[in-house]
């Protein structure tokens, strides 16, 4: 329990973060770079750990080492702590290895007592300035170190304020300030039974103890729990001499970014205030001025600042956010860190830095958060607009939308077809609402989580969506909703912001997305860096075209069920389901054939030259029939028609206890081979038509829900037979790869034998997650998933980010088994996880060939895939990070 505990700034480096804390290491690094940093020293995290080990007692030689460092600091600054002439003041701050903003304690202006305050007044030439520092110190120390409620100090200020009729203490005279200081000293004495400590060294030790103790205050513990930070790291303590930007007209304080945080343009961007302290900037009493003005008022300091900003940016290889103070023409840098910025700015900054040679392209690619790209692809609400926010829900699909309220899918569609822009507002959505979602500008639901039906469909369509907005109440008559305390009728104008979850009354001004050349450049670099292919999930020619525009290299999942749901086909599909005989069923399928053929032709042509993976019908047949309960209620309301009766009976017969595990996917294809036959015929006929027109159509046929190799063998036979028939009829040779979804655990376990029958695998990680966990997604989200996440039984929603330990292990098994049996097996993934950056990183590591996601997530996947490839080949930490 001894050794070196105390480090002067000059002794440290950025990579000593664990020992010196983030703040301390950062200050030390700046000193090392030769930047003008107010001098100081750091008490290490080791001292804190030993302090706790010793039952909150000072370890070994700590007291001596601090005394030594303090003496050196006094010497360097030429001012002794507590001096009655020109006293040194210090700040005492906490700082652990991991950032825990606002969780632990800080004390400023330490070192003041009656004598040194007088001395400071004299040396600064302003008694008011010195008294104000003294007052601030007493209040902060009393609150943080002595535990006196903040409110008690505010009461004193309030009384003084009322007495003087001066609303702001900044305008108080010396007498008033002296009175406040006296009352503060009395307040402390009354509260603690002891006078306020006058010895600056005693003040320092009390402050150090307070910082160490704050490591284990309730909010710090809770914060560490929440972010998974170990409890035994401890905090360092930084003791730094104070500098003052309020020493007069040649002093100032401010904050600058090394580049414009909105656009990324390379120029200093920020604000400053003459003759002011940092907190005055924050308090907003005076209006700060743009940094450019400083070039005229404090030209030397401004030039220095510009130089240091470039130096720091080059050193940290990222745009910086810098706090500075000028004390009587002398510039001090107080802190630097990577600057928060808009997505557009982060892209431009990354591209520019790479083109300026500050960083390489790989680093630039690692700089941009893939998820953030989503915000660039959709309109957003103008940030300057005043909004009437009625409620907030979950931000389920980014982008902002405005429209007139439609309370059901049919009216949404009808009104949209009449040219109206509508917003669909529902308690929740089901597959029956697809046409309404398609017709609407955006979707708002009262129930559901981030992966509910509305969220998934809207994300897939790239439409803004807010779900789980429980402030919405639906009127049972179905013609109005109450949101918060406002009642709105169908047709009223409402807006939503899918990036934040806000629900806003009326029209809002939108900023349209504009994909900059920087965006395109970055994604082109990403394409060069990634190994994973990126495809899109798309069911229509329009979606396919959009996907292609966003850079998709094929369609990884073309679902055919939405084609069956469309209004013009559903009656035929229902008639097919109601058919009593196979012969009758085949009759209805004959009518569907030309429609499906046209569907496939459209998509294959839109993706000419690129593969299109078409999944044969997957959902259980009852999904195409009206809801049983609705049917039942309708039938009871009046004498049911013959058709209603027939529908009801069929829906009853098809009902399943667990449809997710029921008669769907290949199981349906095996019991009703005529359905798959029709689909396969449509694919081959469409291909034949296109090929004879010279279009390079590349279909791939995918079988859903396979768990047994013989299921696939059955389909293989059927497909070969139909291919031969169409080929014979058209007089051309036709063949296409046949593969399978891997979406149930058994398929992963026996992937080797399944690969014997499959030319490609595509992981359906949605269903695989459901079956691996034994979670029904809808039920889990509604009933217990939130509780699991809140209590950290689960650390992430496995329907959003792939569960590596469980589902991921099965994916790895399947990849190993499949590739062992068939080394050239092509492997992709087409679940929702295909667009999630963390999951993409896993898919890269697992050796997949491509990911497939909704068109709007294609750019995100391209960047995430590049980052995955780069992270795998580069050391974990690319650049020293700043606090």
Active site residues: 453, 830
Nearer to a copy of itself, 519 or 775 (CB): 775
> Of 496, 434, 440, 441, which Cα lies nearest the Cα of 469?
496
Provide the minimum distance between the beta carbon of 862 and a copy of itself in the complex, in angstroms, as a whole number.
31
Region 757-816 residues binding a copy of itself, contact defined as CB under 8 A: 767, 770-776, 778-780, 783-784, 787-788, 791-794, 803, 805-807, 809-810
Which residue stretch of 143-151, 369-377, 462-470, 657-665 sits at the interface with a copy of itself (rule: CB under 8 A)? Answer: 657-665
What DSSP assignment string belongs to 570-625? HHHHHHHHH-SSHHHHHHHHHHHHHHHHHHHHHHHHHTTTSEEEEEPP-S-GGGGS
Residue 658 binding a copy of itself, by CB under 8 A: yes
Q: Single out the residue of 484, 509, 626, 662 in contact with a copy of itself (rule: CB under 8 A).
A: 662
Residue 218 binding a copy of itself, by CB under 8 A: no
Nearer to a copy of itself, 288 or 817 (CB): 817
Q: Single out the residue of 743, 832, 836, 849 in contact with a copy of itself (rule: CB under 8 A).
A: 743
Cα gap 71→53, rounded to integer Å: 28
> Of 357, 346, 270, which Cα lies nearest the Cα of 314?
357
Residue 744 binding a copy of itself, by CB under 8 A: yes
Region 416-435 residues binding a copy of itself, contact defined as CB under 8 A: none
Q: Across the beta sheet with 252-257, what order do the strands follow?
A: 289-290, 269-274, 252-257, 320-327, 330-338
Instruction: Write out 725-745 in H/E/C secondary structure.
Output: HHHHHHCCCCCCCEEEEECCH
Residue 167 in tokens: 């609303």
Q: Are 442 and 424 in contact (CB under 8 A)?
A: yes
Nearer to a copy of itself, 226 or 636 (CB): 636
Nearer to a copy of itself, 218 or 791 (CB): 791
Nearer to a copy of itself, 595 or 753 (CB): 753
Provide the minimum distance between the beta carbon of 172 and a copy of itself in the complex, in angstroms, as a whole number.
54
Provide the minimum distance between the beta carbon of 316 and a copy of itself in the complex, in angstroms, as a whole number.
38
Which residue stretch of 172-180, 444-452, 591-599, 653-661 sits at the interface with a copy of itself (rule: CB under 8 A)? Answer: 653-661
Residue 714 binding a copy of itself, by CB under 8 A: yes
Helix (H, G, I), strand (E, B) or coil at 827: strand
Provide the minimum distance between the beta carbon of 300 and a copy of itself in the complex, in angstroms, as a whole number.
59
Cα gap 266→750, rounded to integer Å: 56
Antiparallel, parallel or unpaired: β 850-853 and 533-537: parallel
Nearer to a copy of itself, 17 or 453 (CB): 453
Residue 155 in tokens: 């009461």
Provide the minimum distance between the beta carbon of 644 and a copy of itself in the complex, in angstroms, as a whole number.
17
Region 604-633 residues binding a copy of itself, contact defined as CB under 8 A: 629, 632
Cα gap 544→615, rounded to integer Å: 15
> Which long-range contacts does 659-664 make (Cβ < 8 Å, 24+ apart)?
659/620, 659/622, 659/623, 660/767, 660/770, 660/776, 661/771, 662/620, 663/620, 663/621, 664/618, 664/619, 664/620, 664/704, 664/705
Cα gap 7→73, rounded to integer Å: 12
Residue 445 in tokens: 């639901």
Residue 661 binding a copy of itself, by CB under 8 A: yes
Place of tokens 């039984």: 793
Altogether, the residues listed in the chain come to a count of 883
Nearer to a copy of itself, 489 or 783 (CB): 783
Provide the minimum distance between the beta carbon of 539 and a copy of itself in the complex, in angstroms, as a whole number.
23
Nearer to a copy of itself, 602 or 806 (CB): 806
Helix (H, G, I), strand (E, B) or coil at 530: coil
Q: Single out the residue of 80, 245, 707, 739 in contact with a copy of itself (rule: CB under 8 A).
A: 707
Q: Describe the chain by its helix, strand, coil percentages, rounded to 5.
A: 50, 15, 35
Region 245-274 residues binding a copy of itself, contact defined as CB under 8 A: none
Residue 636 binding a copy of itself, by CB under 8 A: yes
Provide the minimum distance between the beta carbon of 118 and a copy of itself in the complex, in angstroms, as a whole number.
60
Which residue stretch of 213-221, 385-393, 489-497, 738-746 sits at the interface with a copy of itself (rule: CB under 8 A)? Answer: 738-746
Nearer to a copy of itself, 474 or 773 (CB): 773
Nearer to a copy of itself, 194 or 629 (CB): 629
Residue 711 binding a copy of itself, by CB under 8 A: yes
Nearer to a copy of itself, 566 or 813 (CB): 813
Provide the minimum distance between the beta carbon of 798 and a copy of itself in the complex, in angstroms, as a whole number.
9
Residue 746 binding a copy of itself, by CB under 8 A: yes
477 CB-near residues (< 8 Å, 6+ apart):
none
Burial (CB count <10 Å: 0-12, 13-18, 19+), residue 470: exposed
DSSP state, residue 236: E
Residue 178 binding a copy of itself, by CB under 8 A: no
Residue 270 in tokens: 């920020």
Quick note: the x/- pattern for a copy of itself over 667-706, rule CB under 8 A, is x--xx---------------------------------x-
> Of 62, 65, 82, which Cα lies nearest the Cα of 209?
62
Provide the minimum distance between the beta carbon of 858 and a copy of itself in the complex, in angstroms, as a whole number.
29
Instruction: Write out 213-279 in H/E/C secondary structure.
Output: HHCCCHHHHHHHHHHCCCCCCCCEEEEEECCCCCCCCCCEEEEEECCCCCCCCCCCEEEEEECCCHH
The H or E element containing residue 334 is strand 330-338
Provide the minimum distance between the beta carbon of 93 and a copy of itself in the complex, in angstroms, as a whole number.
36
Provide the minimum distance between the beta carbon of 659 and a copy of itself in the complex, in angstroms, as a whole number.
7
Q: Are 93 and 210 in contact (CB under 8 A)?
A: no
Which residue stretch of 52-60, 405-413, 506-514, 707-715 sits at the interface with a copy of itself (rule: CB under 8 A)? Answer: 707-715
Helix (H, G, I), strand (E, B) or coil at 240: strand
Place of tokens 């039906």: 453
> Of 45, 16, 13, 44, which Cα lies nearest the Cα of 29?
13
Burial (CB count <10 Å: 0-12, 13-18, 19+), residue 367: buried
Residue 819 binding a copy of itself, by CB under 8 A: no
Residue 638 binding a copy of itself, by CB under 8 A: no
Residue 635 binding a copy of itself, by CB under 8 A: no
Chain CA centroid to CA 111, Å: 43
Provide the minimum distance between the beta carbon of 721 and a copy of itself in the complex, in angstroms, as a whole number.
16
Q: Are 778 and 452 in contact (CB under 8 A)?
A: yes
Q: Single out the residue of 166, 660, 789, 821 in contact with a copy of itself (rule: CB under 8 A).
A: 660
Residue 645 binding a copy of itself, by CB under 8 A: no
What is each CA distance from 459 to 297, 444, 646, in whole angstroms? 51, 13, 36
Nearer to a copy of itself, 68 or 623 (CB): 623
Determine the size of the site formed for a copy of itself (CB under 8 A). Answer: 52
Which residue stretch of 66-74, 642-650, 660-668, 722-730 sits at the interface with a copy of itself (rule: CB under 8 A)? Answer: 660-668
Nearer to a copy of itself, 670 or 727 (CB): 670
Residue 821 in tokens: 């049996």
Binding site for a copy of itself (CB under 8 A): 629, 632, 636, 656-663, 667, 670-671, 705, 707-708, 710-711, 714, 743-746, 749-750, 753, 767, 770-776, 778-780, 783-784, 787-788, 791-794, 803, 805-807, 809-810
């Amino acid at each position: 329990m001894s050794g070196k505990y105390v480090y002067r700034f000059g002794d440290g480096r950025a990579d000593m973060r664990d020992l010196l804390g983030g703040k301390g290491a950062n200050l030390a690094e700046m000193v090392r770079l030769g930047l003008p940093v107010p001098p100081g020293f750091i008490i290490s995290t080791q001292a804190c750990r030993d302090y706790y080990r010793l039952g909150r007692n000072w370890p070994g030689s700590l007291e001596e080492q601090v005394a030594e460092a303090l003496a050196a600091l006094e010497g360097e600054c030429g001012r002794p702590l507590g001096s009655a002439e020109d006293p040194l003041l210090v700040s005492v701050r906490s700082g652990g290895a991991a950032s825990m903003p606002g969780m632990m304690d800080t004390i400023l202006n330490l070192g003041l007592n009656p004598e040194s305050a007088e001395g400071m007044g004299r040396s600064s030439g302003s008694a008011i300035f010195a008294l104000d520092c003294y007052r601030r110190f007493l209040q902060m120390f009393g609150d943080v170190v002595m535990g006196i409620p903040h409110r008690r100090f505010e009461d004193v200020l309030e009384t003084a304020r009322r007495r003087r009729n001066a609303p702001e203490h900044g305008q108080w005279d010396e007498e008033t300030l002296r009175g406040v200081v006296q009352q503060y000293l009395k307040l402390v004495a009354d509260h603690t039974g002891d006078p306020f400590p006058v010895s600056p060294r005693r003040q320092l030790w009390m402050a150090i103890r307070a910082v160490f103790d704050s490591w284990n205050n309730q909010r710090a513990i809770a914060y560490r729990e929440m972010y998974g930070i170990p409890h035994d790291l401890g905090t360092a303590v930084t003791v730094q001499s104070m500098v003052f930007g309020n020493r007069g007209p040649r002093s100032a304080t401010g904050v600058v970014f090394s580049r414009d945080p909105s656009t990324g343009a390379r120029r200093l961007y920020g604000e400053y205030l003459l003759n002011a302290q940092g907190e005055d900037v924050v308090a907003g009493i005076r209006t700060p001025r743009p940094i450019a003005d400083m070039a005229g008022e404090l030209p030397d300091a401004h030039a220095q600042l510009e130089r240091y900003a470039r130096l720091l940016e080059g050193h940290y290889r990222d745009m910086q956010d810098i706090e500075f103070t000028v004390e009587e023409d002398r510039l001090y840098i107080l802190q630097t860190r990577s600057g928060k910025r808009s997505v557009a700015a982060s892209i431009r900054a990354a591209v520019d830095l790479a083109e300026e040679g500050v960083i390489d392209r790989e680093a630039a690619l690692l700089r941009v958060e893939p998820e953030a790209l989503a915000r660039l692809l959709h309109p957003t609400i103008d940030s300057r607009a005043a909004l009437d926010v009625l409620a907030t829900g979950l931000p389920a699909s980014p982008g902002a939308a405005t429209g007139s309220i439609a309370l059901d899918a049919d009216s949404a569609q009808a009104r949209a077809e009449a040219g109206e822009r509508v917003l669909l507002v529902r308690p929740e959505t089901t597959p029956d609402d697809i046409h309404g979602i398609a017709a609407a500008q955006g979707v708002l639901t009262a129930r559901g989580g981030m992966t509910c039906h509305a969220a998934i469909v809207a994300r897939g369509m790239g439409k803004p969506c807010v779900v789980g907005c429980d402030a919405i109440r639906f009127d049972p008559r179905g013609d109005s909703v109450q949101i918060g305390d406002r009642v709105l009728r169908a047709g009223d104008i409402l807006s939503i912001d899918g990036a934040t979850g806000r629900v806003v009354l009326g029209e809002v001004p939108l900023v349209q997305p504009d994909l900059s050349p920087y965006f395109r450049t970055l994604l082109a670099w990403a394409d060069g860096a990634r190994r994973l292919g990126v495809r899109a999930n798309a069911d229509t020619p329009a979606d396919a075209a959009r996907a292609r525009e966003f850079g998709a290299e094929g369609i990884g999942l073309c679902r055919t069920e939405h084609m069956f749901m469309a209004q013009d086909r559903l009656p035929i599909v229902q008639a097919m389901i109601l058919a009593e005989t196979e012969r009758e069923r085949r009759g209805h399928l004959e009518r569907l054939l030309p429609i499906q053929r046209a569907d496939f032709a459209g998509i294959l042509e839109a993706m000419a030259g690129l593969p299109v993976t078409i999944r044969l019908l997957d959902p259980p047949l009852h999904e195409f029939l009206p809801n049983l309960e609705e049917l039942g209620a309708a039938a009871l309301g009046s004498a049911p028609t013959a058709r209603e009766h027939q529908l009801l009976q069929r829906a009853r017969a098809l009902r399943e206890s667990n449809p997710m595990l029921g008669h769907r996917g290949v199981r349906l294809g095996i019991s009703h081979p005529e359905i798959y036959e029709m689909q396969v015929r449509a694919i081959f006929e469409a291909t034949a038509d296109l090929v004879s027109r010279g279009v390079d159509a590349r279909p791939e046929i995918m079988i859903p829900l396979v768990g047994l190799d013989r299921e696939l063998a059955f389909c293989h036979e059927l497909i070969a037979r139909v291919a031969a028939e169409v080929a014979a009829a058209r007089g051309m040779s036709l063949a296409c790869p046949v593969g399978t979804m891997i979406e149930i655990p058994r398929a992963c376990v026996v992937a080797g034998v399944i690969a014997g029958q499959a030319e490609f695998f595509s992981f359906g990680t949605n269903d695989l997650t459901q079956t691996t966990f034994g979670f029904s997604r809808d039920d889990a989200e509604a009933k217990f998933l939130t509780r699991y996440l809140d209590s950290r039984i689960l650390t992430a929603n496995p329907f959003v980010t792939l569960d590596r330990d469980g589902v991921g292990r099965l994916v790895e098994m399947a990849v190993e088994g499949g590739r062992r049996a068939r080394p050239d097996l092509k492997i992709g993934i087409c679940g929702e996880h295909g667009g999630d950056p963390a999951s993409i990183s896993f898919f890269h590591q697992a050796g997949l060939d491509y990911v497939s996601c909704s068109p709007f997530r294609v750019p995100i996947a391209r960047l995430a895939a590049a980052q995955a490839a780069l992270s795998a080949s580069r050391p974990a930490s690319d650049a020293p990070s700043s606090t």
